[in-house]
Amino acid sequence: MTKVFKSPQIINKENDKIKTHLFLPINLNYNRISEGGLRKKGIFKISDQDKPLISIITTNLNDDLESTILSVIDQDYENIEFIIKDGGSDETTRKILEFYNDNIDYWVIEKDNGIYDGINGGLKVATGDYIVILDSGDVLNKNALNSIVKLAKNNPKADCLLGSCLKQRLMHGYRPDEINLRFNIFASNSGSFFLKREAYKTIGFYDTRYIASADYDLLYKMIVKYKMVGVCGDKDNILSIKPEGGFSDQYPFLKTLYDECRIRFNNNQNFLIIFYIFIARCISKILSRIKKFDGNKMSNYLPNENTNLEIKKARAYYKNILNKRKFLRNA
């Protein structure tokens, strides 16, 4: 990895919607409990021509943070900037962060206004060429970052890079031409979605008005307003593993749908189309309950023998990461 032992020069342009800092500015509305990491020791990471710097932002609130940390440490790729924003968890989380202090570039324990507010805090201090949001409890597959860097080198003009995500099933696909009809145009969210830092500076922060759907708002702006380009890698290359019961899964369907409709309305989409989408989503939800119809299934996903093998390997890797944990939430 490329380390420097003095503060790198940070250049913020006047029209950047996100200004970059080396340390998270103090917010008088929040109580800063603690902070640490390599940056507090005067050690910083910088990009290299052959090894772009990848920023990983993880937000946490009493979740399985250690599994996420272990999967980042276990990456084959070296030039990583790991940032953790904790919303004020219990004492176990502080012990975990202090134990892995030298494996984290910068961490902060501080009350915030929800998951997207925490992510926005991470965006303020990310200096990498590409940024990925890795939810606490999610795990990067072993070769994830090497794979995404290879994809980046083959597609230098792409603003975002996507790969497969293993949840209850394998999620893969990217269809930006359908953004005006549905939001699930890409299935590999969170730890399988890498966006250039310069793209974030153009789009801006996640809109915290949308408690569970701010990522949809950012995606809509990325594609419709700013005409940014995304490239999706091979479906058999699983980048991240996401356990069931994530933040979005716990949020009520109608509230999520309401947020999605607000996002469309606030981005000036036609009201009749918004109404049509609302009805179609409700019907799809009813069918999924009655007939186990999968209305979100990406049509370009066709399982094969190699795909099934990669799924088994990813699940085994996830279990291996869980077995490496030193801290338990009830400890």
Q: Is 330 inside any structural domain?
A: no
Residue % of the chain over a pLDDT of 70? 88
Task: Report whether pLDDT(247) > 90.
Answer: no
Domain with residue 89: its CATH number is 3.90.550.10
Q: Is 261 inside any structural domain?
A: yes
Q: Is 219 inside any structural domain?
A: yes
What gap in Å lies between CA 290 and CA 122, rounded to an integer?
Answer: 41
Task: Report whether pLDDT(62) > 90.
Answer: no
Q: Is 58 inside any structural domain?
A: yes
pLDDT tens-digit map of 22-38: 999 998 888 899 999 99
pLDDT tens-digit map of 118-157: 999 999 999 999 999 999 999 999 999 999 999 999 999 9
Q: Is the dihedral of CA 123, 124, 130, 135 positive or negative?
A: negative
Q: Residue written as tokens 């069918």?
A: 287
Q: Is 282 inside any structural domain?
A: yes
Backbone angles phi, psi at 42, to 5 degrees: 85, 20
SS3 307: helix
Query: With 0-12 CB in 10 A as exposed, 13-18 as middle and 19+ as buried, what is 116?
Result: buried
pTM: predicted TM-score of the whole model, two decimal places = 0.90
What is the tally of structural domains in the chain? 1
pLDDT tens-digit map of 252-293: 778 888 888 888 888 888 888 888 888 888 887 787 777 554
Domain membership of residue 155 as a residue range: 3-323
Beta-carbon-side half-sphere exposure of residue 42 (alpha carbons within 13 Å): 2
